[in-house]
Amino acid sequence: MVTIALVGCAPRGTFHFEENGQAAHVVQPIYVATNRLRDDDQTQGFFRQDFGDNRDSHVRFARMDISIPPSHTIGRIEWPGHNPPNSNRHFVVQENTLFDGENGFLTDLNHPANSKDVIVFVHGFNVNYAEAVYRLAQVAHDYQSQLPVIAFSWPSAGSSRGYAYDRDSVTFSRDSLETLFSLLARKHRKVYLVAHSMGSQLVVETLRQMSISGNRSALAQFESVTLISPDIDEDVFIQQLRRIDPLPVPFTLMVSQHDRALDISAFLTGKPNRLGTIQSGDRLGDFPVNVVDLSYATGGDRSGHSTAFTSPEVIEALRTW
């Protein structure tokens, strides 16, 4: 285990390691595939990130074992903030493994004997590497996932001012995400695919690309696709679906008319709304797409953009759905 001294206030989205002699609490393994450029930054005594916001044409693989505190509240990530990290009260990293390549990743994914099914999660806009990993750890724990979970972390700038950079990174990342899907398909892994916000655009574009290129064997491995608060133009989404064959089923959208983050995105793109704020699936034609409206859910983040992850009410309802 690694011990890192904490000095001052941690930057946003920083991994914390702790060695205090205590037995581990609930530990959630998070597998990672990323096309972020490696960035070992030890500034001010913090282990900040393994990977930064710059783009890499290669896909790298890792596993991070995240300790969930016994005092954890459903829907929250307990960051240390100004406080020294303490595994009784905060998310901390128990172990960090960087694989030399895909073979080490696949071997570890198979040991101990896990289900052939996996969950792949693709984060959204303004998310750095640590935030992507900790969010998936929180979601997998709160939803009581029994399957291995993989975070595909694309090179978001991790900044509210980086919207254009992130949209370009989505375009850049399609091949890398397809690489992950093809790798899992070669090992006959069934995939439950979940994406949030701008990550939904990356997912649908990648599915479209796979269909057009004839990579249908990988397309056939999807057990379901769920897009949460998708930051996609509605017209573009319909055009994308027309080229995806076979379209994974079930295909679900989780939307809200009270999503303030998507209201800002609509303003930036000059459109009245985004896909994640539609009121029903009627405008999507005959496509077999389910729409789950979370508009009136209570709790969760104030922006209404991450309700599926942060509202205890929604989490309790959806994990038995």
Q: Is the pLDDT of residue 7 over 60?
A: no
Interior angle at CA 233, CA 248 and CA 121, nearest 5: 45
User: Would you call the peptide bond into 246 cis, given omega within 30 degrees of 0 as the criterion?
Assistant: yes
Least confident of 2-11, 74-83, 109-118, 272-281: 2-11
Q: Please name the helix (run of DSSP H) or strand (run of DSSP E) that holds residue 119, with its range, or none.
A: strand 117-122
Q: Residue 3's pLDDT is what? A: 31
β-partners of residue 251 are 225, 289
Does the pLDDT of residue 4 top 50, yes or no?
no
Least confident of 80-89, 94-103, 233-242: 80-89
Q: What is the 3-state secondary structure (H, E, C) of 199-265?
A: HHHHHHHHHHHHHHHCCHHHHCCEEEEEEECCCCCHHHHHHHHHCCCCCCCCEEEEECCCCHHHHHH
How do the domains of the chain map onto residue ranges?
29-39+50-64+96-318
Mean pLDDT of 2-9: 36
pLDDT in tens, 257-298: 999 999 999 998 888 889 999 988 888 988 999 999 999 999
CATH number of 29-39+50-64+96-318: 3.40.50.1820
**pLDDT tops 70 at residue 52:** yes
What's the confidence (pLDDT) of residue 114? 60
pLDDT digits (tens, 9 = 90+) for 162-219: 999 999 999 999 999 999 999 999 999 999 999 999 999 999 999 999 999 999 889 9
pTM: 0.93
Of 23-32, 38-47, 70-79, 136-145, give the lowest mean pLDDT range: 38-47
Mean pLDDT (the chain) is 90
What CA–CA distance (Å, rounded) separates 5 from 95?
Answer: 16
Residues 55-79 have a mean pLDDT of: 96
